[in-house]
Amino acid sequence: MPPQPVDISLIISSKNRAYGLKNCLDAVSSAARHAEHLALELVFVDNGSTDNTSEIVREWAETAPIATNLIHETKPGLANARNSGMDAAKGKILAFTDDDCEIFPDYFSALSTLFAADEEPVMRGGRIELGDSRDLPITIKTELEPILMTPYHHSGGFIHGANMAFTRALADRIGLFDTRFGAGTPFRSGEDTDYVHRAFNAGIRVEYLPEFAVKHFHGRRAIDEVHKLQSGYAFGNGALYAKYLFDRRSNMRGMLRWDIRQAILEAVGRPKLNEELGLTYRRQVRDNFVGMIAYWRSRSGGKRVGRTA
């Protein structure tokens, strides 16, 4: 008997977060119950956990209202985990969220409606609300109006990997995530930024739509945690600038020039990147260049730091 088609595969990657999985998984259950007309699956990737992450997922899956495929990826890094999830997923739509997020009850229904009329590959990102008001307002995206990506948009932050979805046809066209990028890798971040950039460069429609949403419980409440996170993002973006520096099809060079211009303006009294959180364009550009140097060193040293795209 041939396998039944799957409408949406939700892919979640996790490492050593057993303490916080229950709310994430229960939100998936709630959304699945609100979308009983759809064929759904959860692909949960345990990325080398040493706690009881897998046991928690297995126990939850026994009564969950959604088919669950628990897989293990021993190679470290979020991109490796996401690639394994994509390889295992059977859905026409591949959706991604993080293990510290909770999807909204209408998540699957909203995704199904948004993708229903597509005739070409498309990538969409959704709203990300702050899950806990005690956390600082970072790693969220709360715009209430849709935005279509153009060459004047920076790929970084246009769509967040914590709430991203695209068709299987898109993945077949542009491939997997670059495993040198993302949490747990040498370049620390940017696997989602790189994927968005590659999709847009391939002529694929990329858009932000607020209709499907998640809550992000990131837990960062100290300014130094924010600065460390932002430094990692800027480092990863710098590595991406270096990756695409000589690609004439890419707008990454324009994004780098914009960052440098903002840093210069900031030095002569213009507003900082974020006054409230103490984030500056000058520090961001410094970390960009450190990331660029790290990328070039990895190439000139003949080392292959993961799979390229």
* Residue 307, pLDDT score: 42
Which pLDDT score, from 0 to 100, does residue 131 have? Answer: 98
Q: Which of 215, 203, 220 is nearest to 100 (CA)?
A: 215
| pLDDT of 300 | 83
pLDDT on residue 303 = 43
**Residue 2 pLDDT:** 55
Is residue 98 within 8 A of residue 162, CB to CB? The reply is: yes
Please state, in angstroms and rounded to a whole number, the distance separating the CA atoms of residues 151 and 294: 26
The beta-strand segments (E) located in the chain are 6-14, 40-46, 67-72, 91-98, 101-103, 122-130, 147-148, 163-167, 205-216
Assign 3-state DSSP to the chain and report helix, strand, coil percentages, each to 5.
40, 20, 40
Q: How far is the C-alpha of 162 from the C-alpha of 102, rounded, in Å?
A: 10
Mean pLDDT by 10 residues, the chain (309 residues): 82 96 98 98 98 98 98 97 98 98 98 97 98 97 98 95 98 97 96 98 97 98 97 97 94 93 96 96 98 94 45
Q: Are 195 and 225 in contact (CB under 8 A)?
A: no
Instruction: Determine the angle formed by the axes of helices 191-201 and 223-244, rounding to 10 degrees.
Output: 40
Domains of the chain, earliest start first: 6-216 (3.90.550.10), 223-300 (no CATH)
Residue 123, SS3 per DSSP: strand
> For residue 1, what pLDDT is reported?
52
Q: What local confidence, expressed as pLDDT, does residue 4 receive?
A: 73
HSE, side-chain direction, 13 A CA sphere, residue 271: 5
| pLDDT at 3 (0 to 100) | 67
Interhelix angle 21-33/107-115, rounded to 10 degrees, is 60
